[in-house]
Copies of this chain bind each other. A is one copy, B any other.
Amino acid sequence: MRVKTFILAFLVLTLTASKNIYSQKMSEYTETCIGCHESVTPGIVAEWRKSLHSKISPSQALKKQKIKRRISAEKIPENLLKNVVGCAECHTLNPEKHKDTFEHAGLRVHTVVTPLDCAVCHPQEVRQYDENLMSKAHPNLSKNPVYHTLLSTSLGPQIFENGKLVYQETPPEVKMDACFYCHGTQVEVEGFEERETDFGKMEFPVLKGWPNQGVGRINPDGSSGSCTSCHTRHAFSVEMARKPYTCSECHKGPDVPAYKVYMVSKHGNIYLSHSGEWNFKSVPWTVGKDFTAPTCATCHASLVVDEEGNVIAERTHRFNDRLPWRIFGLIYAHPHPEKPLTTIIKNKAGLPLPTELTGEFASEYLLDEKEMEKRESRMKKICLACHSTSWVEGHFERFEKTIYETNDATFNATKIMLNAWKEGIAKDENLFDEAIEKIWVETWLFYSNSVRFSSAMAGADYGTFAFGRWYLNKSLQVLKDWYEFKRSKR
């Protein structure tokens, strides 16, 4: 008899294991949405049905033990508590703030869900993200005249007339298609238009700068940032944000080859070989049990614990919490900026740059040594979960030397350019528009950056031949020859 009972229990468990254990009560508003959208945009609805948002209500989430929660709000508005988080719950929040709000099926709906909307349940994450360079990625590029000149000479277009190449103003579509794809566009409501739909005529907002999901997007409610950059709608999946592919969307190019370096590092190798057996969904994330090598998220964002529940690293959405340095050299690597909005920085030469043209740090705007140490020790604590002290110290020593080494290389490349500018071989009104200047830009933007990322994550070839020191040293020699060719041609 007991065997039968046992078997029955086993079967019930087996058969129900794949079903989720939460209720799935939708609000009536969301039911309305889904009534039509199930057939109009079936992909969205199906993806949402697979998400945790469709399976648990905020009131259930609040009952979880604090360390296991994915929401950080202590109190959630009464009207949002009981139902799962459906279409209407997000797309009708704060309607008065959203310039893209429109009447739709009896509801006041907006298209662009923003960090301010997400903050209703996830306030801490939004607060932290707001202190993140990424949240200011749009103005940090568009409002910094030096970086904006780099942008416009990188994107063009140029026309050839009268034997000369002349740069034209970069059209907004080109910016959106390139830099602002990652940095985020400014999404503006240009008006409203009526469109024919399967359900008759309907009015919709006309958006400029759309579509976009860049990290520093300026939204129609005035907020900056986009949670969907990493937590891709409509799955909002922690799994996806923890896998390195999310970061690869913006961090794979020659300027910031973090993903490429990671993938050929020992950590990337372990990830690619074994991650099929890892648990990317558990909160908190347990080292050794859930994963055996870090992904980007492990080191830069996640709440990491050991099997006894001791916290190794706190969850943070201010991704520089564990970063003493900014190794993405523009034009030198330097202590991380103190504030996320970097347009406030002025170096001694009066330029909005974190260093002088000679490499000296604009220290007033950058982390001091004490804060750098604090952030580095947070990072090291993660390393130490799997590595001995001498391993970790040896690694960071070498890495810091690489930072100074590559800054020196940038300085020596710059010295050649200072000669060229002084002698009029290149024109210094614009530092980035001529061939010789672009060769110089690549020494720091591509090669020095590559070497630093490689050193930070031990991806040897990116420090050697793959856009590493080989190209850095070749580039210096080419720069010198180019300078001489141009000089002899005068």
Contact = CB atoms under 8 A, between A and B. Distances in A.
Interface string A177-212: 111011000000000000100000000111100110
A408 B163 CA distance: 17
Interface string A270-292: 10111010000000000111001
Contact of A42 (B235, B306, B455): B306
Contact of A272 (B205, B243, B269, B485): B243
Contact of A46 (B240, B249, B288, B416): B288
Given A154-B470, A390-B205, A265 B249 contact: yes
Interface in A371-429: 384-391, 394-395, 397-398, 401-402, 405, 408-409, 412-413, 415-416, 419
Identical subunits present: 3
A45 B390 contact: no
Contacts of A213: 266
A287 B42 CA distance: 7
- The CB with the most chain B CB atoms within 10 A, among A207, A252, A454, A461, is that of A461
A160 to B, nearest CB: 4
A264 to B, nearest CB: 5
B3 A8 contact: yes
Nearest to A271: B245
A173 interface: yes
A488 interface: yes
Contact of A288 (B43, B249, B434, B481): B43
25 contacts: A42-B306, A44-B386, A46-B288, A47-B292, A50-B292, A154-B465, A156-B409, A158-B473, A163-B419, A171-B401, A173-B402, A178-B464, A181-B460, A195-B389, A207-B390, A210-B394, A211-B394, A239-B274, A245-B272, A248-B263, A248-B269, A254-B466, A276-B276, A435-B481, A485-B489
